[in-house]
């Protein structure tokens, strides 16, 4: 008999290098693991054999029931500020890191399960996940990836054959996700809160080796590492703001070191442009409202700075604070520059002029006032470039409110070096026609709760090419019908 090659070429640095930062753990037994969705493209990018993993064997592995050769499943510990209050002890309460592999690009990736049962960090929770939130994370993560936003990704979704108590009962499920690491601001906070400076340093060195290897030998590597995290996160949140994404629960345990979007819970895309938009049922104060995300991120980065202070200067705390403040003070400008550049591209502009920001803000406030659909307005602007401004005007309750703006914008476009048809084509590569519309997401999740998975597969196929308008898919581009009402999302744990 010839022996089969292992399904994964695991190389588990977290398990190996960071004892004391996790507990070894196993997934819970479940009655009937079944594959619901398997991401062939991602499997291929990871160098995995889709044929061996997309069936029964894969279902048992991704449910957490069977342990593939070379895996070292573990639950990571972390802390975090949740809605502004510090929880010193969080951690993977329903998740497991099963191991790390190197993808085809040479990038190290975590293979992680969410919903695989209780761990020592479960607190009062049951350690489980249910089909709706699992598929929601799958859909939103894959949509964000296709939209060019750094994110964790979904490799597989399995059902477990259990019914889990959640407003009645719901089918149990597990999400297998892939991330360039699961290091969070909260991971640093856990050890900093316990004054375990050696562990904070060990973690920072691990993070540097993984995400910023160029800094490894440098004396001031911790400060430079902090700078890199700020830059990645500023770039990330600017992308959220440009695409109209509301994360919904920007706690410090949901803020990554890698700069990837993580933990899709009560998130949603805005319809009308509205800085005050809040979808999460538990975000009563609007702390994580759409327009507050850049500010909240800065607050989270300040919490990271606090955790890292002893690494910036162990002897002189005042100096450490001054160094950290200098870095943090750069954030507003970094964010703003990324947002202005991105907004310019959405408007078809390559050059920058002083009053551009005013032009952008005027359109945005008219959209808010007129409840115009954010995604469609930008998409239809490209038609206005070519002389047809009717389709964009009809998105405003009072089309006259946008007419003068359109004239000013066309005059501004005339100062650009590129021909108009090129500008219009470039806008269609930046402004999507298909986003995960809230009503569509709800529709496919309801079907999945009845074990009808055809609609979620169709939606995923649409969202895979968000910039490429195709005939027959008009319904996926439409905003929610008015009878859909105000949208509310739930943590869905």
Query: What amino acid positions are annotated as catalytic residues?
Result: 253
By beta-carbon proximity to ligand AMP, the closer residue of 190 and 331 is: 190
Distances (CA, A) of 189 to 80, 96, 110, 185, 227: 7, 20, 21, 6, 17
- Least gap, CB of 71 to ligand AMP (angstroms): 20
Residue 127: contacted member of Mg ion, ligand AMP, none (CB under 5 to 8 Å, by partner type): ligand AMP
- DSSP letters, 141-187, are HHHHHHTT--B-EEEEEEEEEEEEESSSEEEEEEEEEEES---BHHH
Dist. CA 97–CA 176, nearest whole Å:
10
Residue 165: contacted member of Mg ion, ligand AMP, none (CB under 5 to 8 Å, by partner type): none
Find residue 177's DSSP bridge partners.
112, 154
Is 141 a binding residue for ligand AMP by CB under 6 A? The answer is no
Considering only residues 9, 26, 122, 458, which one is a binding residue for ligand AMP as defined by CB under 6 A?
122
Is 205 a binding residue for ligand AMP by CB under 6 A? The answer is no
Is 90 a binding residue for ligand AMP by CB under 6 A? The answer is yes
**Which of 241, 208, 252 has the alpha carbon at shortest distance from 227?**
208
By beta-carbon proximity to ligand AMP, the closer residue of 293 and 424 is: 293
Continuous segment of H or E residues that includes residue 420? helix 420-428
SS3 261: strand
Dist. CA 68–CA 206, nearest whole Å:
25
Is 128 a binding residue for ligand AMP by CB under 6 A? The answer is yes
Residue 70: contacted member of ligand AMP, Mg ion, none (CB under 5 to 8 Å, by partner type): none
Of the candidate spans 18-26, 91-99, 359-367, 421-429, the one that interacts with ligand AMP by CB under 6 A turns out to be 91-99
**Which of 16, 182, 179 has the alpha carbon at shortest distance from 92?**
182
Is 493 a binding residue for ligand AMP by CB under 6 A? The answer is yes
Dist. CA 273–CA 372, nearest whole Å:
7
| DSSP one-letter code for 63 | T
Dist. CA 175–CA 164, nearest whole Å:
15
148, 59 in Cβ contact below 8 A? no
Considering only residues 39, 254, 298, 489, which one is a binding residue for ligand AMP as defined by CB under 6 A?
254
Considering only residues 33, 265, 294, 348, which one is a binding residue for ligand AMP as defined by CB under 6 A?
265
Of the candidate spans 51-59, 125-133, 388-396, 408-416, the one that interacts with ligand AMP by CB under 6 A turns out to be 125-133
Q: Which residues bind Mg ion (CB under 5 A)?
A: 254, 263
- Whose CB is nearest to ligand AMP? 125
- DSSP letters, 84-125, are TEEES----SSEEEEEEEE-TTS-EEEEEEESB---TT-TTS
Of the candidate spans 92-100, 347-355, 379-387, 395-403, the one that interacts with ligand AMP by CB under 6 A turns out to be 92-100
By beta-carbon proximity to ligand AMP, the closer residue of 141 and 466 is: 141
Considering only residues 70, 93, 148, 275, which one is a binding residue for ligand AMP as defined by CB under 6 A?
93
Dist. CA 268–CA 293, nearest whole Å:
13
Residue 339: contacted member of Mg ion, ligand AMP, none (CB under 5 to 8 Å, by partner type): none
Place of tokens 């954030």: 331
Residue 94: contacted member of ligand AMP, Mg ion, none (CB under 5 to 8 Å, by partner type): ligand AMP
By beta-carbon proximity to ligand AMP, the closer residue of 91 and 150 is: 91
Is 310 a binding residue for ligand AMP by CB under 6 A? The answer is no
Provide the sign of the torsion angle of the four alpha carbons 60, 64, 66, 68, taken in this order. positive
Considering only residues 94, 136, 182, 239, which one is a binding residue for ligand AMP as defined by CB under 6 A?
94
| E strand segments, 210-299 | 245-246, 268-269
- Least gap, CB of 57 to ligand AMP (angstroms): 26
Residue 128: contacted member of ligand AMP, Mg ion, none (CB under 5 to 8 Å, by partner type): ligand AMP
Is 91 a binding residue for ligand AMP by CB under 6 A? The answer is yes
- Least gap, CB of 254 to ligand AMP (angstroms): 5
Continuous segment of H or E residues that includes residue 130? strand 129-130
Dihedral angle of Cα 336, 341, 343, 345, to the nearest 10 degrees: -170
| DSSP one-letter code for 22 | E
By beta-carbon proximity to Mg ion, the closer residue of 92 and 100 is: 92
Neighbours of 329 (CB within 10 A): 10
By beta-carbon proximity to ligand AMP, the closer residue of 249 and 423 is: 249
Dihedral angle of Cα 253, 85, 191, 246, to the nearest 10 degrees: 20
Distances (CA, A) of 363 to 155, 203, 294, 338: 39, 45, 20, 18
Count the residues of the shown chain that bind ligand AMP, applying the rule CB under 6 A. 18
Is 127 a binding residue for ligand AMP by CB under 6 A? The answer is yes
Is 83 a binding residue for ligand AMP by CB under 6 A? The answer is no
75, 91 in Cβ contact below 8 A? yes
Is 263 a binding residue for ligand AMP by CB under 6 A? The answer is yes
- Least gap, CB of 267 to ligand AMP (angstroms): 11
Query: Which residues from 213-252 bind ligand AMP, rule CB under 6 A?
Result: 249
- Least gap, CB of 263 to Mg ion (angstroms): 4
Residues in contact with ligand AMP by CB under 6 A are 90-95, 121-122, 125-128, 249, 254, 263, 265, 491, 493
């Amino acid at each position: 008999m010839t022996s089969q090659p292992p399904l994964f070429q695991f190389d588990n640095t977290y398990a190996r290098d960071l004892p004391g930062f996790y507990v070894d753990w196993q997934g819970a037994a479940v009655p009937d693991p079944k594959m619901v969705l398997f991401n062939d493209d991602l499997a291929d990018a990871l160098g995995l054999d889709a044929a061996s993993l997309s069936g029964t064997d894969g279902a048992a592995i991704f449910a957490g029931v069977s342990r593939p050769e070379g895996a070292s499943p573990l639950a990571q510990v972390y802390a975090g500020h949740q809605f502004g209050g510090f929880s010193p002890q969080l951690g993977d309460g329903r998740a497991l890191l099963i191991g790390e592999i190197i993808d085809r690009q040479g990038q190290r990736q975590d293979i992680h399960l969410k919903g695989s049962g209780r761990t020592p960090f479960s607190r009062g929770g049951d350690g489980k996940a249910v089909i709706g939130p699992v598929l929601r994370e799958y859909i939103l993560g894959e949509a964000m990836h296709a939209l060019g936003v750094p994110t964790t990704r979904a490799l597989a979704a399995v059902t477990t054959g259990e019914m889990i108590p959640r407003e009645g009962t719901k089918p149990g499920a597990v999400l297998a996700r892939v991330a360039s690491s699961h290091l969070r601001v909260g991971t640093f906070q856990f050890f900093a809160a316990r004054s375990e400076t050696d562990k904070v340093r060990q973690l920072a060195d691990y993070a540097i080796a993984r995400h910023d290897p160029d800094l490894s030998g440098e004396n001031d590597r911790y400060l430079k590492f902090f700078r890199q995290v700020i830059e990645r996160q500023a770039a990330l949140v600017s992308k959220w703001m440009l695409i109209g994404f509301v994360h919904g629960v920007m706690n410090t345990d949901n803020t990554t070191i890698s700069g990837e979007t993580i933990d899709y819970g009560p998130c949603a895309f805005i319809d009308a442009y509205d800085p005050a938009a809040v979808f999460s049922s538990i975000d009563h104060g609007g702390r994580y409202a759409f327009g507050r995300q850049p500010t909240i991120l800065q607050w989270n980065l300040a919490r990271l700075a606090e955790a890292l202070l002893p690494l910036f200067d162990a002897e002189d705390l005042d100096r450490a604070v001054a160094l950290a403040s200098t870095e943090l003070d750069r954030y507003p400008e970094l964010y703003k520059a990324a947002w202005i550049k991105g907004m310019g591209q959405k408007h078809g502009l390559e050059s920058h002029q002083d009053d551009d920001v005013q032009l952008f803000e005027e359109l945005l406030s008219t959209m808010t006032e007129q409840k115009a659909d954010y995604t469609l307005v930008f998409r239809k602007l490209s038609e206005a470039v070519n002389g047809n401004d009717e389709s964009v005007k009809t998105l405003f309750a009072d089309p006259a409110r946008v007419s003068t703006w359109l004239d000013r914008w066309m005059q501004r476009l005339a100062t650009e070096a590129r021909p108009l048809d090129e500008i219009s084509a470039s806008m269609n590569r930046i402004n999507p026609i298909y986003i995960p519309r809230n009503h569509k997401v709800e529709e496919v999740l309801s079907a999945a709760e009845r074990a009808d998975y055809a609609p979620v597969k169709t939606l995923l196929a649409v969202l895979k090419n968000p910039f490429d308008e195709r005939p027959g898919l008009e319904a996926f581009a439409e905003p929610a019908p008015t009878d859909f009402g105000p949208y509310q999302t739930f943590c869905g744990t």
